[in-house]
Amino acid sequence: MTLKPIKPAPGALIPTARELWGASREKLTEASFSINMMEKATDRVQYEQAWSNFVDAIQEFWVRFFDEGKKKFSNFQPWAGRNYPKRDPLIKYLVEARNLSQHSVLHLKWEAPRLELAPGFSGHIKRIKFYPNGMQDIDSTPAHASVSDAEFVYAKSTPSLPSIINNHGQNILPPTSHLEKSLDDQSPVTVAKIGLNFYIDIHNKAIDIFLKNSSK
C-alpha cells in the first residue's frame, strides 16, 4: 500500500483549520510582508501603500487577538489591559495612523525631489541637455572603459512620519519613545519594525501564559 497526499483539483482551495489566535497571527505575517515591501519600494506610491497596509494589518491583529482571547479565557481581558500600553507614543501613533488610513488619505512626509549628476563617474563631461519630456542627453568621455557614461539620477528621497490630526482634533506627533526608551531613528520602517516586534512579543506571551498553562 502506498500512501499519497490528497491533491487539490485545479482552482480548488485546500481546507485550512485555524487554531486559537491563528487568524490574528496571519495579520502579523501581513504586517511583516508590508515592511519588506517598504524596504523594496522603488517609488513613493509603493512605499506609502506598504505603510498603509502595515498599519491596517497591525491593528487588525490586535482586534482579532483580543476578541479571540476574551472569548476563550475569562482572565484574558484584564491581562491584555495590563500588557497593552495604549498611551505609549509609538503604539498610540500606529493606532491613529490606522484610523486615518480608514477615513482619509495616509501620506508620509518626503524630501523634495532632487537630481544627482554622474554619481561615481570620472572623466570629462562635454555637454548636458534636458528635454521637456524628461529625457537627458549628456556627452561624456569616461576616464576608463570600466566607467559608465555620465548621467543624472534621482537622489534617494527619505520619508518621515507626519503629525496626525485625529477625529477629536488632537495633534498626534511622530513617536520619540517606546516603552519609556528614546527612539533614535523615527523612520517609518524602523517604527514599523519596533511596533511589529512589540505585538509579536505580546502574542507569544499570551501563548505561554494561556495556551501552554491550559494544556498542563
Q: pLDDT: is 162 or 127 the higher one?
A: 162
Q: In this predicted model, what pLDDT tens digit does every residue of 149-175 receive, in sequence order?
A: 878 777 677 899 999 998 888 999 999
Q: Is the pTM of this model over 0.85?
A: no
**Residue 216: pLDDT above 60?**
no
Provide mean pLDDT across the span 118-147. 81
The 10s digit of each residue's pLDDT in 182-202 is: 999 999 999 999 999 999 999
Say what the pLDDT of residue 214 is: 62
Position of cell 523615527? 186
- CA distances to 96, 129, 136 from 132, in Å: 41, 10, 9
**pLDDT digits 0-9 by tens, 59-100:** 999 999 999 999 999 999 999 999 999 999 999 999 999 998
- Rounded distance between C-alpha atoms, residue 69 and residue 17, angstroms: 18
Could you tell me the CA-to-CA distances from 27 to 20, 119, 133, 196 in Å, in that order? 14, 41, 43, 10
